[in-house]
Structure 1
Amino acid sequence: MTDDVEDVLPRAVALSWGVAERPQRGPKRELSIERIVDTAIQIADDEGLAAVSMSKIATTLGFTTMSLYRYVTSKDDVLLLMQDTVCAVPIPPEEEDGEWRDGLRRWTATTIDVMREHPWFPDIPIPGMPLTPNNLAVLDWGLRIMKDLPLTGPEKMSTVLLLSSFARAFGVVERDVQRSREAEGAQRRTGEAFTTALAELVTDERFPYLGPLVRSGVYTDSEGDDDQDDYAFGLERILDGVQRYVDARRTGEPIVAAVPRPEPVPYDKAVREAAKARREIEGRLREARKREREAIAKAIERRTKAVEKAEKSAKAAAKG
């Protein structure tokens, strides 16, 4: 290992590879980079990533904040090392006859597992390509699964990125929904009452395709009988696409070239103003319908009372 490596790599990356110079002298040498990172991970697991600070880490360890800077240059170093540490996942041995779809299913599920165990993981910004050893080991595992596929290096990297992005996005949604449910407790926004209320807002006029799903209860799963596994469905459709691409590579079938990203819809003030006016009109319409329902309910109540009164009078007259 040349001396130039430490100079080229960012401090945290060099630390993760063990090629950065570490402090050898100073008071209380029982402090170490490993203890700093492990403590930061525990704080994040218990209180969330926002709770992680240099002062919090130092206080937990019983040291001064300044003492930490003998080992790391900033909180960003700690975050990168936290991320790499939790990526030290058990990588299964290579199977000679392993099916690549099964391998990529397991690889993708591992990303979800990391986020379930450490919900703060996706909150750390992605600085660029993976550079730390545990991250690269996971990447190497994914590439190993695809070693026999007739794909180029960039195509394999794009496949890994696609699956990683899917797992990361799904993991964030799963985490946030779980947090919301735990915070709401008994006030969870599901059930028949919520479906009924939402159905008033999601009208067929404005949402012609979503409206029927809301009214059926599928959107909110008010009956709790939705057997659709969104994660498995999405992953299998991605793997179907990769399978189709691989098959085309093997047979020499023409492959659709990558289509450029569509141009964004231009900003139009008139469109925004029209949308605002529509929302106001819809609000007044909902209020009018509410008053109509209240008036109908009162009319029915009055009619019921009048009928009951007439029946009582008739009975009294018959007795007299």
Structure 2
Amino acid sequence: MTEGHDGERTGLPASVEAAWGLRERPAKGPKPGLSLDRIVGAAVALAAAEGLGAVSMGRVAKELGVSTMSLYRYVGAKDELYILMQEAVMGPPPEPPAPGTDWREAITDWAVAQRVLFRRNLWVLRVPISGPPATPNSVAWWERGLAALEGTGLDDGDQISLLVLISGFVRNDSLLTADLAAAVESSGVSAEEVMRRYATTLKRLADPARYPSVARLLESRVLDEPDVPDYGFEFGLDRILDGVAVLIEKRRAGS
């Protein structure tokens, strides 16, 4: 087991330690040209084309034209491969904002950048969360988020909780958007037509005496209006940050 920069053992898989530069990547494999980067790249391409469910050690080996067992020289298990795939597509976070940038603008940029990343790599949203950030790029994203909150006066615990809250919102919004888009695509009609049919069906099923609020919503015809791009995301993020602003003022007043 390899030690980190402070001399403590990391407890991380060998491939993740290699990503941190704590150990050498295997230089030669059982097949010329095979490398950890090629394995991860093939897995990412497979996930992008067919979804995360298509990724297995056997399938990746087939794509590379090698035996499944040859992959285990580089990566210990499929879950470990998932981590390396996520690390590869995440990349480093955006550059820090200019000095003096308001915390709200800084954390908004952080959240929007995450959303762009997820929407370009929807399969990442299907990767099981197995623990806190433990790869170089994922830790760099957390560093960037924490830096955005430095001027708020919030303590470390509050800052971590806020990053979990905001990143969770971004993931959920991205996942919901992806699922709805997939449902619309499979229906073969436009999103507007899907919502129109939904509203028509709901009017037939929802008795106004039992569902008065739903009936009022349907009568307003708001479901018939075309969606404004990104409105739901921006609305939700703004409301979260409104709450953060109240918390900041509360903490300042208390101190």
| Same fold, judged at TM 0.5 (above) | yes
Structure 2 residue 71 is the aligned partner of structure 1 residue 62: no
C-alpha contact 1:45 1:118 (8 A) present in aligned 2: yes
CA shift in 2, pair 1:20/1:202, >3 Å? farther
C-alpha contact 1:196 1:215 (8 A) present in aligned 2: no
1:22-59 CA-to-partner distances (Å, cap 9, x unmatched) read 33444434111111111111110111001111122112
1:205-231 CA-to-partner distances (Å, cap 9, x unmatched) read 22221221123322xx32427689111
Find the counterpart in structure 2 of residue 96 from structure 1. 99
Aligned identity (percent) is 36
Could you tell me how far apart the structure 1 residues matched to 2:184 and 2:176 are?
12
1:108-156 CA-to-partner distances (Å, cap 9, x unmatched) read 1111111111111111111111111100000000001111111111111
The TM-score normalised by the length of structure 2 is: 0.89
Could you tell me how far apart the structure 1 residues matched to 2:68 and 2:206 are?
53
Q: Report which stretch shifted further, 1-10 or 195-204.
A: 1-10
Structure 2 residue 219 is the aligned partner of structure 1 residue 215: yes
CA shift in 2, pair 1:229/1:140, >3 Å? same
Find the counterpart in structure 2 of residue 40 from structure 1. 43
1:83-122 CA-to-partner distances (Å, cap 9, x unmatched) read 1111214421342110111111111111111111111111
CA shift in 2, pair 1:18/1:5, >3 Å? farther
Find the counterpart in structure 2 of residue 296 from structure 1. none
Structure 2 residue 131 is the aligned partner of structure 1 residue 128: yes
RMSD between superposed Cα atoms in Å: 2.3
Find the counterpart in structure 2 of residue 202 from structure 1. 206
The TM-score normalised by the length of structure 1 is: 0.72
- Pick from 154, 159, 169: which aligns with 2:157? 154
Q: Report which stretch shifted further, 230-239 or 199-208.
A: 199-208
C-alpha contact 1:6 1:14 (8 A) present in aligned 2: no
Structure 2 residue 75 is the aligned partner of structure 1 residue 75: no
Q: Quick one: higher RCO (CA 8 Å, sep 6+), 1 or 2?
A: 2
SS in 1 for 2:224: coil
Larger Rg: 1
User: Where does the alignment leave 5 or more consecutive residues of structure 2 unmatched?
Assistant: none
| Total equivalences in the alignment | 251
Could you tell me how far apart the structure 2 residues matched to 1:112 and 1:49 are?
18
Could you tell me how far apart the structure 2 residues matched to 1:72 and 1:5 are?
23
SS in 2 for 1:199: helix
1:141-173 CA-to-partner distances (Å, cap 9, x unmatched) read 000111111111111101111100110111100
Q: Report which stretch shifted further, 5-14 or 236-245.
A: 5-14
Could you tell me how far apart the structure 1 residues matched to 2:230 and 2:133 are?
34
User: Where does the alignment leave 5 or more consecutive residues of structure 1 unmatched?
Assistant: 254-320
